[in-house]
A and B are shown apart, each in its own frame.
Chain A
Amino acid sequence: MTTPTLLPDGEPQAGGWRRGRPKYLEVRNLSVSFDGFLAVDNVNLDVIQGDLRFLIGPNGAGKTTVIDAITGLVPATGSVNHTGTEILGRKVHKIARLGVGRTFQTASVFENLSVLQNLDIAAGSSRSPLQMLRRRKSVEPAVEEALEIIGLAGAADKKAGILAHGQKQWLEIGMLLVQNSDVLLLDEPIAGMSQDERGETGELLRRIAANRITLVIEHDMDFVREFATSVSVLAAGKVLSEGSVAQVQADKKVQDVYLGTAATEGQ
């Protein structure tokens, strides 16, 4: 790689924009149990580079728990394979170093640090001790690019704590970008955003997803319809249905448990 660019040109398409073998995330028989309660029950998922996959389902379906399990936050059984590397059972920070990044339902940025510092920390997990003990003199190109992409270039020196809710979500996405993750797991990235912000975030996700493996948890069906390239429906810890938005909407089982009104409303 010469100059790293965070975003490629073009629309996302399954198989990725790069030539050669695409990267993938393969989840097999993933189960998470809390004191005997099966929150995630034998979930299988395949997300391929370039796919903008949405994970939907009613409250308590286990969507966030799936992401928690993949990122090592909760112990799980089964297998999660990231392009040939088994990641399940590793420590959280090791999984992150293997290129799996996530955001949280409630934006969790470092509120006492500036936007720039937040991004710089996210970009730096592979820095040497000597680099760490030095002062941050210049802004890394990737950080600069991320600032532009997330529209916070003007707020780089502001404390992250005073950002608006939507801006915090964008900052989190920016942190994922500079973190150089191949796998992006986003937990309700547009919650609490205005209509305009939602549109912008959707466009941003589309561009980001073009060369990454992206899994987004979302409740807003209009948003899903507009931006998803594929959808997995989770209910009671199990994958109920999978496919394009149209396929999933047509699925009788899905209509029963979840989509029902929303699906007909949108047509």
Chain B
Amino acid sequence: MKSLLRGRLGTVAGFTLGAVLLLGVAPALLPAFNLGLLGKFLCFAIVAVGIGLAWGRGGMLTLGQGVFFGLGAYIMAMHMKLADASLFGGSGVPDFMSLYGSGEVPGWWEPFRSPAVTLLAVVLVPGLVALVLGFAIFKRRVKGAYFAILSQALAAAFAVFLIGQQATTGGSNGLNGFRSFFGFDLKDPNNKLMLYMIAAVVLLLSVAIARQLMHSRFGELLVAVRDQEERVRFLGYDPATVKTVIYVAAAVLAGVAGALFVPIVGIISPADVGVIPSIAFLIGVAIGGRGTLLGPVLGAVCVAAAQSSLSSTFPSFWVYFQGLLFVLVIGFMPGGLASLPALLGRRRRTPPEASDPVAPPDAPDPDVEERATKPEEVSR
């Protein structure tokens, strides 16, 4: 089984299976409403792929991915608002601006009238922000819990900023009421299906990119930086550069996910980008297994699905359940569900006292690595 999963053939087979499930089976079986929900979960999964890289592989506890998700989402939402205003209102001024503001479009909105600029900005803005932040943070050797707190504070500040700008970002209402997406009517079921398909393809692509990053020399260096940042310096590498690269990659993935989230879900508000959603992004990754390729994807989808079904049944209960789940996984299974087969296999093979946490059962394989079995990892 394991040898089948390895190798080129296994990879191609795995991706084909993923593509068939996401692009063929799911649209055929699921009703339109559920497909829309799945599309939303896939957006979270794209964020999770990035967190898997930055946290699982790079050891950076990114508690503020909501910032980059929000940047991508708001850029897309601004474009859609402007496009709607031109298409349906004629005035070119988004509805909420006439209600709460001066009725004039602020200058920094104008570039996003252009679809091309918007698509570029969705990738570039989160990437550049992460680049600047990353260099500032990592060159100063801020890491561990300090980095986590810093990134969370950014998410909090970003949400507060958005809430304060009622006239230009819609405040706590956010941006919503979209009617078209690059000229396509959002009410049309075919266009909804198309949006889902785009999300699925982007997810497959991001998994492919993450896989390449993990298996490349860079991926090996990243693990080295995660485990022994100081040692890497003596080999002639600057760990700040390595960490910034992966931080930017995670930010771009989050930004793209945000941009897809807006047309699929139909709203973006500060409640989707602040501290709580940023932590929610993380929980799926932790539960699925942050050190693996597919763990974050499956974890994110499962947690989002559980949230959407449980939170409607027990609205006040979900948050506690989520917190409990997080504590249990981090406390008892730091490698997430992905480490379960390896853990069970090891237990069966060796007596308990011989199960040295360092000793791996097999030759190293980045796909099934269960590095994250040490409790101290959590704070990184």
Q: How far is B234's CA from A97's CA once the two chains are assembled, in angstroms? A: 9
Closest CB-CB distance, B56 to chain A, in whole Å? 12
State whether A125 touches B236 (Cβ < 8 A).
yes
State whether A157 touches B234 (Cβ < 8 A).
no
State whether B217 touches A131 (Cβ < 8 A).
yes
Residue B379 interfacial (CB < 8 Å): no
Mask of A124-145 contacts with B, CB within 8 angstroms, 1/0: 1111000111111000000000
State whether B235 touches A175 (Cβ < 8 A).
yes
Q: Enumerate chain A residues within 8 angstroms of B228, measured Cβ to Cβ.
A: 108, 110
Residue A122 interfacial (CB < 8 Å): yes
Residue A112 contacts which of B215, B231, B363, B369 (CB distance < 8 angstroms)? B369
Q: How far is B237's CA from A122's CA once the two chains are assembled, in angstroms? A: 9
State whether B234 touches A96 (Cβ < 8 A).
yes
Closest CB-CB distance, A168 to chain B, in whole Å? 12
State whether A132 touches B216 (Cβ < 8 A).
yes
Residue A75 interfacial (CB < 8 Å): no
Interface size of B by CB at 8 A reads: 27
Residue A71 interfacial (CB < 8 Å): yes
Q: How far is B249's CA from A132's CA once the two chains are assembled, in angstroms? A: 15
State whether B217 touches A92 (Cβ < 8 A).
no
Chain B, residue nearest A158 (CB) = B363
State whether B235 touches A96 (Cβ < 8 A).
yes
Tell which of A19-27, A81-89, A113-121 binds the partner.
Answer: A113-121
**Given known A-B contacts A162-B359, A179-B235, A112 and B364 have beta carbons under 8 A apart:** yes
Among B220, B221, B223, B231, the one with the most A-chain Cβ atoms within 10 Å of its Cβ is B220
Q: Enumerate chain A residues within 8 angstroms of B215, measured Cβ to Cβ.
A: 135
Q: Enumerate chain B residues within 8 angstroms of A132, measured Cβ to Cβ.
A: 216-218, 221
State whether B234 touches A127 (Cβ < 8 A).
no
Q: How far is B233's CA from A127's CA once the two chains are assembled, in angstroms? A: 15
Q: How far is B371's CA from A133's CA once the two chains are assembled, in angstroms? A: 22
Chain B, residue nearest A99 (CB) = B236
Residue B235 contacts which of A111, A122, A134 (CB distance < 8 angstroms)? A122
Residue A113 contacts which of B223, B236, B237 (CB distance < 8 angstroms)? B223
Residue B224 contacts which of A91, A110, A158 (CB distance < 8 angstroms)? A110
State whether B220 touches A161 (Cβ < 8 A).
no
Q: Enumerate chain B residues within 8 angstroms of A219, measured Cβ to Cβ.
A: none
Q: Enumerate chain A residues within 8 angstroms of B231, measured Cβ to Cβ.
A: 104, 108, 110
Q: How far is B120's CA from A254's CA once the two chains are assembled, in angstroms? A: 70
Closest CB-CB distance, A101 to chain B, in whole Å? 7
Chain A, residue nearest B216 (CB) = A133
**Given known A-B contacts A108-B231, A121-B224, A136 and B236 have beta carbons under 8 A apart:** no
Closest CB-CB distance, A121 to chain B, in whole Å? 5
Residue B177 interfacial (CB < 8 Å): no
Q: Enumerate chain B residues within 8 angstroms of A101, measured Cβ to Cβ.
A: 234-235
16 additional contacts (CB under 8 A) given A96-B235, A161-B358: A92-B234, A93-B237, A101-B235, A110-B228, A112-B364, A112-B371, A113-B223, A114-B363, A120-B220, A121-B221, A133-B213, A133-B216, A134-B216, A134-B217, A136-B216, A161-B360
**8 A-B residue pairs with CB within 8 Å:** A104-B231, A111-B227, A113-B224, A117-B364, A121-B235, A135-B215, A162-B358, A162-B359
Residue positions of A touching B, CB distance < 8 A: 71, 91-93, 96-97, 101-102, 104, 108, 110-114, 117-118, 120-122, 124-127, 131-136, 157-159, 161-162, 175, 179
